[in-house]
Each structure stands twice: as C-alpha cells, then as structure tokens.
Structure 1
Amino acid sequence: MFGDMMNMMGKLKETQKKVEETKKRLDTVLIDESSHDNKLKITLTANRTIKSIEIDDELLQDKEQLEDYLILTLNKALEKATKVNEAELAAAAKEGLPNIPGMDMFK
C-alpha cells in the first residue's frame, strides 16, 4: 500500500514537471491571425502573450474601425491559442496521470 502511494506521488511529480515543461514550450509556439482582408495581423504565443500587431495604414484613419478589427481579430487569435494551450496541457497531464479510481475523466 505504502509503495503504491509513493509510486503515485512520484508519477504526480513527474506529471507536474511535464506540464511545466509544456507551458515553457508553449511560449515558443506562435499563433498567427489576420483580419478577413489582411489589414490587421496579430501574432501571439500559445500561452496568449501578444508578440506583434501589424496595422494597415488605412485602418489608422478610422479609430472605430480599427477598434472593431482589433476586437474581432484578437478574439479569434485568443480562441486559437486557448485551444492549442488546453490541448497540449491536457495531453501532458493525461500522459503522466496514475490510474486513480474515479479520475478516468482525464483519460
């Protein structure tokens, strides 16, 4: 019994380490998103840190239009990044989870 508990604790620590490594790696995964007409381009990491924003000069003439473009394009980029982030972290956690009764929702 005690050996099983120690083995489980070891696997949990190993899983935690894999999750942390995955988080660091996701800082290097870049997500690109553009407006439908390519007047606005956004790049962010899978950890949802904005890396760059490119704005066409035409959008700089209309504040309200630029704000709309930013909201729409940032939301699309954040949605993509969140999907990648959640999938990668779930895979890292699932890989190392010990077989605990009742915790099969992660499998």
Structure 2
Amino acid sequence: MFDKIMAAQQKAEEIKKRLDTVSVFGEVEGGAIRVTATANKAITAIELREDFLAGADREELEELLVTAVNRALQQADQVSANEMQAATKDMLGGLGGMFGQ
C-alpha cells in the first residue's frame, strides 16, 4: 500500500514538471494581445501588436489584458485537469488489484 502511495506522489511530481513545459495562450482582438502561460498557471509572456497599442486607450488595454490573461489561465486549468484525470484513471486502475478487482 505504501508503495502505491509513493508511486502516486512521484506521478504527481512528474505531471507538475510536465505541465511546466506545456504552453497555453489567451488572445483577444484577433491576436492584438497574446498572453502565454504554462499549464501550471505561470505567465511567461505578454505580446502586444504595435499597431493595436498605438490606437488603444489605457482603459481598453487594461480590460483586454485581463481578458487575455483569464483565457490563458482557463486553458491552463483545462490542460491540468486533463492530465490529472488521466493520471487518476491510471492510478485507480493500478489500485483495483488491491481490492480484488
């Protein structure tokens, strides 16, 4: 049983490391603002198209940045949830033998 718990912890660490290497994106205004993050929800880049930036006012820019960041974080949540769901399914499949299944 203890081995199974240790294996589950190791698997969780592997997933976390893998999620650090997965990039997700949030875009608004047809790519005028693009936010890049890891699947672990770390923002790694914010890109603003020069032509958009020249014509945008501060309030509009702030609102669109929030939207782009939230879209990137939503994608990160989805990727993370998919990874955890797959890992949980694998782990539960392995635990089935412990309960005679």
Common fold, TM-score beyond 0.5? yes
Structure 2 counterpart of 1:24: 17
Residue identity in the other structure for 1:44 = A
Native 8 Å contact 1:26 1:47 kept in 2: yes
Stretch moving more, 52-61 or 64-73: 52-61
Is the aligned partner of 1:71 residue 2:71? Answer: no
SS where residue 30 of structure 2 aligns? Answer: coil
2:42 is the counterpart of 1:49: yes
| Deviations 1:46-83, CA, capped at 9 Å, x for gaps | 00101110012333641101111111111111111111
TM-score w.r.t. the length of structure 2 is 0.81
- Partner AA of 2:62 in structure 1: E
Q: Which runs of 5+ in 1 are unaligned?
A: 1-7, 102-107
- Opposite residue 59 of structure 1, the aligned amino acid is L
Does structure 1 conserve the Cα–Cα contact (< 8 Å) formed by 2:24 and 2:39?
A: yes
The alpha-carbon deviation at position 87 of structure 1 amounts to: 1.6
Residue ranges of structure 2 left out of the alignment (5+ in a row): none
Alignment of 1:1-107 (within 5 A): 8-57=1-50, 58-59=52-53, 61-97=56-92, 98-99=95-96
Helix, strand or coil: the match of 1:53?
strand
> What secondary structure does 2:12 align onto?
helix
Q: Is the 8 A contact 1:18 1:93 kept in 2?
A: no
RMSD: 1.8
Q: Which has the higher helix share?
A: 2
Q: How many residues align?
A: 94
| 1:8-50 deviations in Å (ceiling 9; x for gaps) | 2211110110111110110000012211321101110000101
Q: Conserved in 1, the CA contact under 8 Å of 2:36 and 2:46?
A: yes
Aligned-partner Cα distance in 2 for 1:89–1:19? 8
Specify the SS of the correspondent of 1:48.
Answer: coil
